[in-house]
Structure 1
Amino acid sequence: MDNKDLHILDALQQNARIAMSELAEQVNLSDTPCLRRVKKLESSGVIKGYRATLDAQALGYSVLVYAQVRLTENSFDKAEEFEQAMRSLPQILECSVVTGSYDYLLKIIAKDLGHYEHFLKLSLGKVSAIDSIESTVVLKQTFSRDTVPVID
């Protein structure tokens, strides 16, 4: 991957709907070589896909929660059971294995605190692999990035 590829990636992260001719102009290439580079980045898996970024608050989700989860035991089977259950819950935006006194960190959205409580009791609370959950409600998110720094 060279500097042109990095500039292409940066531009596509900012606007995935950019016209190929405009992208080519931005990175100082003609259309065909630019398109070839984009296709190569897609086929190699560097570009995983394209999607629309939605405003969660505009869709009624005003609560963001980070939940630290401890499993009943540290075993492959319990981890698989837990991770599969988390994949099935669309309110969970991220699920990460972490170090420390907890096993997982979840990023969860909810419409309000009542909605989160309902989710906690009726969805997360029913996963038998979970021993304990500690929730931290975000009061204000100052910023959030969903881009990867590709150009220093």
Structure 2
Amino acid sequence: MDDKDRQIIRALQADGRLSNQDLAERVSLSPSPCLRRLRNLEAAGVITGYTALVDQKACGLPITAFIRIRLERHSESVVKVFDDHIARIDEVLDCYLLAGGDDYLLRVIVSSLEAYEDFIRRRIHAIPGVASIDTSFAYGVVKQTRVFPM
């Protein structure tokens, strides 16, 4: 990956709806080489997809919770069961495997505190092998970006 590829990635992270013509102009390439580079970045798995950024509050999901999970055991079967369950839960936007005291960090969005309680009782407590759940609620966002420093 060279500087031109990084310029393409930065431009698309800022605006994923750019046409190839507009993208080529932004990175000072002609359209054909720009499209070729873009396709190569996609084929190499550097660009993994395109999406719309949506305001969660406008969609009726104003509450963000960060949930730290500790498992009872770390056997392959317990971890697989947990991972499989989490992968199917729509409210979980991100799930990170951690080093340190906790095993996982989840970013979850819900419509209300009542919905959060229901989520914990019906979805998280239903997963075998969960030893502890610790939650922090976000009451504001200082910075949120999907643009990598390149």
Place the TM-score, normalised by the shorter chain, in its bin: over 0.9
Q: Equivalent residues in 2 for 1:1-152 (5 A)? A: 1-150=1-150
Q: Determine the C-alpha separation between the residues in 1 that align with 2:46 and 2:110.
A: 31
Identical-pair percentage: 33
Q: Determine the C-alpha separation between the residues in 2 that align with 1:93 and 1:42.
A: 23
1:26-57 deviation per Cα after TM superposition (whole angstroms, max 9, x unaligned): 11111101111001101111010111111111
Give the residue type in structure 2 aligned to 1:33: P
Coordinate RMSD, CA, aligned = 0.9
- TM value normalised by structure 2: 0.97
Q: Determine the C-alpha separation between the residues in 2 that align with 1:140 and 1:12.
A: 27
Q: After the TM superposition, which segments of 4 or more aligned residues of structure 1 sit over 2 Å from their partners?
A: none
Gaps of 5+ in 1: none
Q: Determine the C-alpha separation between the residues in 1 that align with 2:23 and 2:132.
A: 49
Q: Determine the C-alpha separation between the residues in 2 that align with 1:101 and 1:38.
A: 41
Q: Determine the C-alpha separation between the residues in 2 that align with 1:100 and 1:42.
A: 34
Shift of 1:141: 1.5
Count of residues in correspondence between the two structures? 150
Q: Determine the C-alpha separation between the residues in 2 that align with 1:79 and 1:118.
A: 23
1:72-99 deviation per Cα after TM superposition (whole angstroms, max 9, x unaligned): 1111111111010000001001111112
Q: Determine the C-alpha separation between the residues in 2 that align with 1:117 and 1:69.
A: 16
Q: Determine the C-alpha separation between the residues in 2 that align with 1:116 and 1:137.
A: 10
Secondary structure class of the residue paired with 2:73: coil
Gaps of 5+ in 2: none
Secondary structure class of the residue paired with 2:95: strand
Give the residue type in structure 1 aligned to 2:114: G
